[in-house]
Amino acid sequence: MAKAKGSSTPASSAATTVAAPVPSAGAATAPIAIPSPSTNLNKLVKRVPWLKEDIIHRIHPDKYLADEFNPGPAGNARFSPIVDAKGSSIPTIYGGTTFDCAAMETVFHDVPFTAGLKTHAKRKLKAHHYSQILSVADLVLAELTTTALRKLGVKRGELIESEKDVYPQTRAWAAAIHAQCPDIQGLFWISRQDDRAVAIILFGDRLDSNPLSVHAPSVDIVADAATYANVLTLASRIGVRITGR
């Protein structure tokens, strides 16, 4: 849904420009308001296939198995947790098309956009596993790329690149797509944290029982030497030095 336009009445050329008030130091900034979902998303949403041979790369807390969905309602992510029309939690699982994407969307998610060397505590990497899984069947996902979002009436900067204080609004979009598009089994977008890759989320209630299979054994991202080497390579790429034990 497009944002409402302001008044079309032209301002007088003689009007005095009044400077906007400057927020006082420490004042809280209200989250931006993004457009609300349309009521005819089923006609507007572009469907994109996710093929069963496409590997889903995941980095996740080790309390979850490789193919285990987060049952909700705990968490605070861009598109989860969400509930269905009856108020029941929708199980979800996140993944990406590459190891780097999975790492950037999880353990390196909050690395700041600052020039030069940054430090990241090794303890934040611990208790995480790297898993590779497959869907047992081809899936139908809602495409949330920039071109597809134009038809939905919301910008990438609003839905995909907004900060955590906007998550309640972005989750409303995920819930609306789930509610209005009964064939949609998840969402598909270009990762905010690694725009070389695609990130996805799957809706567990739209899949058959045992919908995922393990492609490769899960490994601890710190204890497994080869995986930790990949973590360090990515850390160097984004200007991060891992510190501590």
Whole-model pTM over 0.85: yes
How many CA atoms lie less than 13 Å away from 45 in the CB half-sphere?
30
Across the chain, which has 245 residues, the per-10-residue mean pLDDT values are 40 39 56 96 98 98 97 96 96 98 97 95 98 98 98 98 97 98 98 98 97 98 98 98 96
Q: CA-CA distance, 112 to 108, in Å (whole number)?
A: 9
- Domains in the chain, please, with CATH? 41-243 (3.90.175)
pLDDT at 29: 75
pLDDT at 161: 97
- In eight-state DSSP terms, residue 97 is S
Q: CA-CA distance, 90 to 70, in Å (whole number)?
A: 9
pLDDT at 28: 59
Task: Yes or no: say if 135 and 211 are a contact pair by the CB < 8 Å rule.
Answer: yes
- In eight-state DSSP terms, residue 234 is H
pLDDT at 60: 98
> Which string of DSSP letters, residue by residue, matches 37-82?
PPS-HHHHPPEEEE-TTSPEEEEEETTS-TTPPB-SS----SS-S-
Which tokens sit at 130? 């790297």
